[in-house]
Amino acid sequence: MRRPPWVALALVLVAVMAASLMLGATHVAPGAVWDALVGQGSDDVARTIVRSIRLPRVVLAMLVGAALGVSGSVLQGTLRNGLAEPYLLGVSGGAAVGAVLAVAGGVSAPSLIALAAFGGALLAVAGVLTLARAAGGASDTRVLLMAGVVMGAFANAAIMVVMAAGSPDVARNALWWMMGSVAAAGWRDVVLLAISLGAVGAALLHRARWLDVLALGEDAAESLGVDAGRAGWRFFVLASLLAATTVAVAGLVGFVGLMVPHLARSLSAARARPTMIVSALAGGALVVAADLVARTVRAPAELPLGAVTALLGVPFFLWRLRVER
């Protein structure tokens, strides 16, 4: 089978990011973008727009997409299910509840919000798997998705309760989390997500062979010497950590983790490690592009980023649902 088209993917990512730095409410010419990035030129307005507003936003969007892509590819491999992804499994919803509760409780440091999101995500994973097992097994696509949707609905309800009970400020914040956005991107968010993606991504790449073995099924994995239960939990925790960090910095951005791993597998072999890397590159490009669409189609108004990815993701989901029975 083909090797993944690394160069082409990287070029697409760079091109989308470059376009995203140029286009917006104010267009900045390519030359001016370059000057602003390297710190030359005399156009202070362009420099402020590119370096202080667009660059952190574009980099954050790229990291959010990469983290969601990796998280989705790991969840799909662990659950042996091509429809698994953090948003549909309720993992992101749980993370949002954790983040909203933290904010309502007065927490403002991004790392603490991320920690609360991670706690919420883990509770959601445990809840979804318990629900699915009680209803007949986590390997049954329909049961698992149903459990995830139930968990997502519960998370939505919990956020709405917090919104109704909290101050207008809390309500605005909660709404922002539910819609997903990188508009408020700051370098602190970028650094937090970069650290999380770097550390978790390295751990996942290191153990990628486990995922290959797990994808064969529990019996085969055990006969090859892998403790399927323990390995599965480890991947769940790591994938949830990635998804939770994206929720903490950008709110709910759904379906990226669903679409991107499919693209990765159709571009190359289905082995876990290349799938993860391709998912990171393609996920980055997808979210940067989606954010570009979100802030340009009705500029200067912005569409929620989560709405744009959902508009793409729902038809994709229906198509995969038909293919995967």
Return residues touching other proteins (CB under 8 A).
1, 76-77, 80-82, 206-209, 212-213, 215-217, 219-220, 222-227, 265, 269-271
Nearer to other proteins, 44 or 219 (CB): 219
The DSSP output letter for 4 is P
- DSSP letters for 239-265: HHHHHHHHHHHH----SHHHHHHHHHH
Nearer to other proteins, 45 or 220 (CB): 220
Amino acid in position 302 = E
Nearer to other proteins, 175 or 269 (CB): 269
Mapped onto helix, strand or coil, the DSSP state of residue 54 is helix
Please state the closest distance from residue 63 (CB atom) to other proteins, in A. Answer: 24
Measured CA to CA, the distance from residue 199 to residue 201 in angstroms comes to 5
Mapped onto helix, strand or coil, the DSSP state of residue 84 is coil
Please state the closest distance from residue 234 (CB atom) to other proteins, in A. Answer: 12
Please state the closest distance from residue 220 (CB atom) to other proteins, in A. Answer: 5
Nearer to other proteins, 272 or 303 (CB): 272
How many angstroms separate the Cα of 215 from the Cα of each of 4, 202, 261?
20, 20, 14
∠ at Cα 67 (66, 70), nearest 5°? 85
Please state the closest distance from residue 180 (CB atom) to other proteins, in A. Answer: 28
Mapped onto helix, strand or coil, the DSSP state of residue 5 is coil
Please state the closest distance from residue 269 (CB atom) to other proteins, in A. Answer: 5
Residues whose CB is less than 8 angstroms from the CB of residue 4 and which lie 6 or more positions away in sequence, other chains included: 264, 267, 268, 269, 274, 277, 278
Please state the closest distance from residue 89 (CB atom) to other proteins, in A. Answer: 16
Nearer to other proteins, 94 or 283 (CB): 283
Structure tokens at 238: 């790591």
Please state the closest distance from residue 141 (CB atom) to other proteins, in A. Answer: 11
∠ at Cα 323 (137, 147), nearest 5°? 30
Burial class (CB in 10 A: 0-12, 13-18, 19+), 136: exposed
Nearer to other proteins, 172 or 206 (CB): 206
Region of 39 (left: φ > 0; alpha: ψ -120 to 50; beta: rest) is left
Please state the closest distance from residue 60 (CB atom) to other proteins, in A. Answer: 30
Please state the closest distance from residue 282 (CB atom) to other proteins, in A. Answer: 16
Measured CA to CA, the distance from residue 88 to residue 74 in angstroms comes to 14
Nearer to other proteins, 47 or 265 (CB): 265
Question: In angstroms, how far is CA 244 from the centroid of its own chain?
Answer: 9
Nearer to other proteins, 91 or 226 (CB): 226
Nearer to other proteins, 52 or 223 (CB): 223
Mapped onto helix, strand or coil, the DSSP state of residue 43 is coil
